[in-house]
């Protein structure tokens, strides 16, 4: 802040100096001009005056009347610029003279040279002016004949005095003008510097917390990397994400959310050292540079202190907020100096801390790096597959059979991806990547189109599927009801009937903000809804009723231990009973053994799906499967 004040002061001084200099030059030019004009005007006046005195002296000259001549000469006293005068006859002899300053006029005007009829006189032969005084010569003529000469001694002190007065006046005005200009411009400048400061604040600081923003942080990080290399003292980069911050925003509103972020920033600052840097990168993400960190233990200690600092509830109104911190720690120096890369690594470590149950810290390691690199590769590959003609992607269909009649009630469409090198990537690998990167939206669209194409192929071969279940990720629901519009448009384009499509959503979708509206749109469009992986999430039957769900799928984890595991058996029995009471169809997933199938059938489970009944398979294989299924036993 002090440097800003200095800057204002320095710039004010500079502008004052330059204005003063400009005024000084203007002043000098003005004075020169004033001198030249004043002097020539004065001389002009003096010549006029000399002519008048000369004219008044003609009679005295004609009669050689020294007394009259003296009287005429005495009249010069009336003019302050004339300090003396002398009148000479035509022969050069002095008739009368007067001198107030002691300047002595010559007794005779001496003859310079003979020039025919006229005699010319010297001393002074002509009007001569010095710096401070001068002699003005006026030849007195009567009808073209010189009858005498008048010499006047003139003083310029009057001119200088006038100029001095003028200069004082001008300088006075200039000083006042300069003072006024200084006041005005310094005010303006102060405002400009303040505006500059505000711009800088906007460009480099986060308005909510007052901390550095990402831009400034990346710059600081670059400097930290250089300093760490130069001084050989380690440092640490911390990527901090606030756990459950969404809850604060959702329950107390964004204004309180902002206050909470500010408090979090302040609490973090409180446990750091003076030279350390804290920034808000955006949303609920912060980053910290710790200087002078020689070993992982020191970094861990600070990370722990930060977590403890946030442990006490934040005093937000009307209710306090409980949040935690997930921190990724990266020790510097690292093998890369790019701030973006370093931040991403710390971010990766933070991500691992999050998956380890939040409110903890995790160090970046090569394993994490390898994992994230793999994910980046997957993303690039998936992007290529999706946007360059769907290469390598296909859809597998897994039959769903009636537990009672063993007839096909539908199939579940499952995405498959074979890479260019022939290797299969499992959905367990690529679906989470697609969800994280947002590619799930494009993937979901592609799967639905492909299902429509496959249905047409199956129909051409005489197979009409009663129902197809398509998985929809919670992330896709973020598109709102436009997702449903898009699905309707796709299905309509292929001429398929809407009633044949069922969409599988996880329980979390029911709880998502805005999820309700999308589910309503699905229902209105005539699609049936199924709740996938039931039992692993909120398991709220109340929600199922509210959202007009028609089917639940009991998660494999309950089926796999059947029938031995009493707990699973009890849960399944209860879920089936409650679902039936709510008029919901129950599908059991992951049925691998005859014993499991028997148990489920006995419990009243409606539909079975699993390796026992058929693995997910390509359309061509599905045709053979369907043929076999319908063949009489």
| Binding footprint of ligand C2E on the chain (CB under 6 A) | 398, 414-415, 426-428, 431, 440, 444, 447, 471-473, 504, 532-533, 556, 589-592, 610-611, 616
Considering only CA atoms, which of 375, 373, 351 is closest in space to residue 363?
Answer: 351
Determine which helix (DSSP H) or strand (DSSP E) holds 145, and give its type and residue range: strand 145-155
Per DSSP bridges, beta strands 585-588 and 607-608 are: parallel
Closest to Ca ion by CB, 316 vs 398, is 398
Considering only CA atoms, which of 311, 436, 448, 417 is closest in space to residue 375?
Answer: 436
User: What would the two tokens of residue 156 be?
Assistant: 């310029």
- CA distances (Å), 434 to each of 382, 437, 444, 462, in order? 8, 5, 10, 35
d(CA 313, CA 327) in angstroms, rounded, equals: 18
Smallest separation (angstroms) from ligand C2E to the CB of 351? 20
- Binding partner of residue 398 among ligand C2E, Ca ion, none, CB cut-off 5 to 8 Å per kind: ligand C2E
d(CA 375, CA 358) in angstroms, rounded, equals: 21
Smallest separation (angstroms) from Ca ion to the CB of 248? 32
Closest to ligand C2E by CB, 218 vs 532, is 532
- Binding partner of residue 428 among ligand C2E, Ca ion, none, CB cut-off 5 to 8 Å per kind: ligand C2E
Decide: 331 and 296 in contact? Cβ < 8 Å: yes
Closest to ligand C2E by CB, 264 vs 591, is 591
Smallest separation (angstroms) from ligand C2E to the CB of 215? 36
Smallest separation (angstroms) from Ca ion to the CB of 590? 8
Closest to Ca ion by CB, 57 vs 471, is 471
Smallest separation (angstroms) from ligand C2E to the CB of 560? 7
Rg over CA atoms, the chain: 52
> Per CB under 5 A, which region of 303-311, 481-489, 539-547, 584-592 contacts Ca ion?
584-592
- Binding partner of residue 502 among ligand C2E, Ca ion, none, CB cut-off 5 to 8 Å per kind: none
- List Cβ neighbours of 354 (8 Å cut-off, separation of 6 or more): 241, 243, 326
Decide: 325 and 307 in contact? Cβ < 8 Å: yes
Smallest separation (angstroms) from Ca ion to the CB of 412? 6
Residue selected from 441, 471, 579, 596 as contacting Ca ion according to rule CB under 5 A: 471
Decide: 511 and 543 in contact? Cβ < 8 Å: yes
Closest to Ca ion by CB, 436 vs 557, is 557
- Binding partner of residue 611 among ligand C2E, Ca ion, none, CB cut-off 5 to 8 Å per kind: ligand C2E
Closest to ligand C2E by CB, 387 vs 611, is 611
Judged by DSSP in three states, 484 sits in helix
Closest to Ca ion by CB, 347 vs 589, is 589
Smallest separation (angstroms) from ligand C2E to the CB of 585? 16
Closest to ligand C2E by CB, 533 vs 606, is 533
**Measured in Å, how far apart are the chain's first and last C-alpha atoms?**
90
- Binding partner of residue 138 among ligand C2E, Ca ion, none, CB cut-off 5 to 8 Å per kind: none
d(CA 332, CA 326) in angstroms, rounded, equals: 20
Q: Give me the 532-571 binding string for Ca ion, x by CB under 5 A, dash otherwise.
A: xx--------------------------------------
Considering only CA atoms, which of 451, 489, 486, 454 is closest in space to residue 470?
Answer: 451
> Per CB under 5 A, which region of 57-65, 428-436, 509-517, 586-594 contacts Ca ion?
586-594
Smallest separation (angstroms) from ligand C2E to the CB of 597? 11
Smallest separation (angstroms) from ligand C2E to the CB of 335? 35
Closest to ligand C2E by CB, 310 vs 414, is 414
- List Cβ neighbours of 516 (8 Å cut-off, separation of 6 or more): 510, 546, 547
Closest to ligand C2E by CB, 447 vs 468, is 447
Smallest separation (angstroms) from Ca ion to the CB of 298? 46
Residue selected from 49, 220, 241, 504 as contacting Ca ion according to rule CB under 5 A: 504
Judged by DSSP in three states, 432 sits in helix
- Binding partner of residue 414 among ligand C2E, Ca ion, none, CB cut-off 5 to 8 Å per kind: ligand C2E
Considering only CA atoms, which of 379, 367, 347, 333 is closest in space to residue 240?
Answer: 347
- List Cβ neighbours of 194 (8 Å cut-off, separation of 6 or more): none
Closest to ligand C2E by CB, 136 vs 414, is 414
- Binding partner of residue 590 among Ca ion, ligand C2E, none, CB cut-off 5 to 8 Å per kind: ligand C2E
Smallest separation (angstroms) from ligand C2E to the CB of 431? 5
CA 60 to chain centre: 97
> 397: buried, middle or exposed (CB in 10 Å: 19+, 13-18, 0-12)?
buried
How many residues touch Ca ion under the rule CB under 5 A: the total is 5
Q: Which residue has the tokens 């933070």?
A: 350
Peptide bond into 563 cis (omega under 30): yes
Closest to ligand C2E by CB, 159 vs 434, is 434
Smallest separation (angstroms) from ligand C2E to the CB of 584? 18
User: What would the two tokens of residue 274 be?
Assistant: 């003076």
d(CA 607, CA 95) in angstroms, rounded, equals: 151
The DSSP secondary-structure symbol of 584 reads -
- Binding partner of residue 399 among Ca ion, ligand C2E, none, CB cut-off 5 to 8 Å per kind: none
Peptide bond into 318 cis (omega under 30): yes
Residue numbers of the site for Ca ion (CB under 5 A)? 471, 504, 532-533, 589
């Amino acid at each position: 802040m002090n440097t800003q004040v200095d800057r204002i002061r320095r710039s004010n001084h500079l502008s004052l100096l330059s204005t003063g200099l400009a005024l000084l030059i203007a002043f000098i030019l003005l004075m020169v001009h004033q001198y030249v004009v004043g002097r020539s005007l004065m001389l002009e006046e003096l010549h006029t005056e000399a002519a008048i005195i000369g004219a008044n002296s003609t009679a005295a000259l004609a009669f050689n009347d020294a007394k009259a001549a003296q009287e005429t000469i005495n009249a010069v006293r009336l003019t302050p610029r004339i300090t003396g005068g002398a009148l000479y006859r035509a022969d050069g002899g002095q008739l009368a003279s007067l001198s107030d300053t002691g300047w002595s006029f010559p007794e005779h005007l001496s003859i310079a040279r003979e020039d025919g009829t006229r005699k010319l006189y010297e001393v002074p032969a002509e009007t001569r002016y010095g710096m401070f005084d001068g002699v003005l010569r006026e030849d007195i003529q009567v009808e073209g004949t010189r009858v005498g000469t008048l010499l006047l001694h003139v003083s310029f002190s009057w001119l200088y005095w006038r100029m001095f007065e003028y200069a004082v006046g001008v300088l006075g005005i200039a000083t006042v003008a300069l003072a006024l200009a200084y006041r005005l411009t310094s005010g303006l400048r102060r405002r400009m510097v303040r505006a500059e400061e505000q711009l800088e604040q906007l460009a480099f600081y986060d308005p909510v917390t007052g901390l550095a923003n990402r831009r400034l942080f990346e710059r600081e990080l670059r400097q930290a990397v250089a300093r760490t290399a130069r001084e050989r003292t380690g440092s640490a980069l911390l990527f901090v994400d606030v756990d459950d911050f969404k809850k604060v925003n959702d329950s107390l509103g964004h204004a309180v959310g902002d206050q909470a972020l500010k408090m979090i920033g302040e609490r973090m600052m409180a446990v750091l050292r003076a030279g350390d840097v804290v920034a808000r990168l955006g949303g609920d993400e912060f980053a910290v540079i710790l200087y002078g960190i020689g070993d992982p233990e020191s970094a861990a200690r600070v990370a722990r202190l930060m977590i403890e600092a946030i442990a006490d509830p934040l005093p937000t109104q009307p209710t306090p907020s409980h949040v935690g911190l997930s921190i990724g720690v990266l020790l510097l120096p690292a093998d890369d100096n790019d701030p973006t890369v370093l931040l991403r690594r710390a971010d990766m470590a933070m991500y691992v801390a999050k998956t380890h149950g939040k409110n903890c810290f995790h160090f970046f390691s090569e394993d994490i790096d390898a994992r994230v690199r793999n994910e980046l590769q997957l993303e690039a590959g998936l992007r290529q597959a999706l946007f360059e003609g769907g290469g390598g992607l296909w859809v597998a269909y897994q039959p769903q059979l009636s537990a009672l009649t063993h007839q096909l009630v539908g199939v579940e469409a499952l995405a498959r991806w074979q890479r260019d090198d022939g290797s299969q990537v499992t959905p367990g690998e690529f679906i989470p990547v697609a969800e994280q990167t947002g590619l799930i939206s494009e993937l979901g669209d592609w799967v639905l189109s492909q299902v429509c194409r496959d249905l047409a192929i199956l129909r051409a071969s005489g197979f009409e599927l009663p129902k197809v279940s398509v998985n929809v990720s919670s992330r896709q629901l973020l598109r709102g009801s436009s997702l449903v519009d898009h699905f309707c448009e796709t299905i309509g384009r292929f001429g398929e009937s809407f009633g044949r499509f069922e969409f599988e959503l996880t329980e979390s979708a029911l709880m998502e903000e805005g999820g309700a509206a999308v589910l309503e749109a699905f229902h209105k469009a005539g699609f049936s809804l199924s709740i996938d992986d039931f039992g692993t999430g909120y398991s709220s039957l109340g929600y199922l009723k509210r959202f007009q769900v028609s089917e639940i799928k009991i998660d494999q984890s309950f089926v796999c231990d059947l029938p031995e595991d009493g707990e699973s058996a009890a849960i399944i029995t209860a879920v089936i009973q409650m679902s039936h009471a709510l008029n919901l169809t129950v599908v059991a997933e992951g049925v691998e053994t005859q014993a499991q199938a028997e148990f489920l059938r006995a419990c009243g489970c409606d539909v079975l799906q699993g390796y026992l009944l058929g693995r997910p398979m390509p359309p061509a294989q599905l045709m053979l499967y369907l043929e076999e299924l319908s063949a009489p036993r």
